[in-house]
Chain A
């Protein structure tokens, strides 16, 4: 994964620019998409409780990394959508779109064998080729994303 700030800024940039085209696409939906960008990294709950502990408690194999897949984010977006009191379908769409932006960006990161992670599960276990664009701890990725997000913020605030 890239760091979470990069994902959140990327979602802000992407969905803010998209909001310029549609009247109904307001800031509150950009906020929902930014929350969506957090969803795949809920697997980091593993920093608090490791899979082995959960497996020993439940008595079955268990991997929180399922949350960093298409299937995992679909279910998490569904949960997020019903946390709102209204407009569940639209919320689901934006949460899923935000999460999908996260997964696509992660799909570009470096793997030594040249193939990305298994984020297409449960549709397929296929690991697509990755362009090996970055590693998650590289600050350059955050700086570039931050510059673009800052430019979008300033453009919208002072010129749009």
Chain B
């Protein structure tokens, strides 16, 4: 495929991807069976006495009770909840999923809790390890493929071996 054609195909695919992101963003809330931070902020009473799943950042933790902040899309605090019956160890700065019936006074007795990040340090661990993963994949890729600026793309780093050309040429 000629470079110009590849650029056109990539542009079309990225435009379609942007459209997919718009559609996903526009329809997610109506398909997600639980309140989002934005919905909780707009009308907290709408979800009272309903069984909901919420994601929140732990503010305080004492015995089996935690206080969490649920955030909206902008990262601002949409709701502050007190959750009891939390049988997991978690520290302030950690992230949890809580599932249970939401009471009118912004409290919940959790039926199930999942600790996503036990503390702020767990988030840092995840990002550092993920960065290492990205670097490993990119490094392994660069070991086998090289950029070819004049063709606007990557090609195999070494000449084709007999083993490589054994398959169908689908280029």
Which A residues are within 8 Å of any B CB, using their own CB? 3-9, 11-12, 22-24, 26-28, 30-32, 34-35, 37-38, 41, 44, 50-52, 55, 58, 60-67, 69, 71-72, 75-76, 78-79, 82-90, 110-114, 118, 121-122, 125, 127, 132, 135-137, 139, 142
The residue on A at minimum CB distance from B3 is A85
Indicate whether A88 sits within 8 Å of B1 (C-beta atoms), given known contacts A31-B145, A113-B53.
Answer: yes
Q: Is the CB of A112 within 8 A of B114?
A: yes
- Chain A residues near B164: list those with CB within 8 A: 24, 26, 28
Partner among B23, B28, B133, B156 whose Cβ is within 8 Å of the Cβ of A7: B133
Indicate whether A142 sits within 8 Å of B114 (C-beta atoms), given known contacts A26-B163, A85-B153, A87-B169.
Answer: no
- Chain A residues near B133: list those with CB within 8 A: 3-9, 38
Which of A12, A67, A85 has most B Cβ within 10 Å? A85
Q: Is the CB of A50 within 8 A of B74?
A: yes
For the complex formed, measure the closest distance between the CB of A32 and the CB atoms of chain B, giving whole angstroms: 7
Distance between Cα atoms of A69 and B31 in the complex (Å): 14
Interface string of B16-51 (1 = CB under 8 A from A): 110011111110100111100000000000000000
- Chain A residues near B24: list those with CB within 8 A: 63, 65-66, 69, 121-122
- Chain A residues near B9: list those with CB within 8 A: 78, 82
Partner among A58, A72, A89 whose Cβ is within 8 Å of the Cβ of B17: A72
The residue on A at minimum CB distance from B76 is A52
Q: Is the CB of B143 within 8 A of A31?
A: yes
Pair count A-B, CB < 8 A? 192
Distance between Cα atoms of A119 and B144 in the complex (Å): 31
- Chain B residues near A8: list those with CB within 8 A: 133-134, 136-137
Partner among A5, A51, A76 whose Cβ is within 8 Å of the Cβ of B73: A51
Distance between Cα atoms of A34 and B130 in the complex (Å): 13
Interchain Cβ contacts under 8 Å between A and B, 29 examples: A3-B133, A4-B130, A5-B136, A9-B136, A31-B143, A31-B144, A31-B145, A34-B136, A37-B137, A50-B74, A52-B74, A52-B75, A55-B73, A61-B22, A61-B25, A67-B17, A71-B20, A72-B21, A75-B14, A75-B16, A84-B145, A84-B155, A85-B153, A111-B97, A113-B33, A113-B99, A122-B24, A136-B117, A137-B123
Q: Is the CB of B171 within 8 A of A88?
A: yes
For the complex formed, measure the closest distance between the CB of B122 and the CB atoms of chain A, giving whole angstroms: 4
Interface residues of B in 124-171 (CB under 8 A from A): 125-126, 129-134, 136-138, 140-141, 143-145, 148, 151, 153-157, 161, 163-164, 166-167, 169-171
Q: Is the CB of B114 within 8 A of A79?
A: no
- 17 new A-B contacts, CB < 8 A, other than A4-B131, A78-B9, A136-B117, are A4-B132, A5-B130, A5-B132, A6-B133, A9-B133, A12-B140, A23-B167, A24-B163, A28-B156, A38-B134, A69-B24, A84-B155, A85-B155, A88-B170, A89-B171, A111-B97, A114-B112
Q: Is the CB of A32 within 8 A of B141?
A: yes
Partner among A26, A65, A71, A110 whose Cβ is within 8 Å of the Cβ of B114: A110
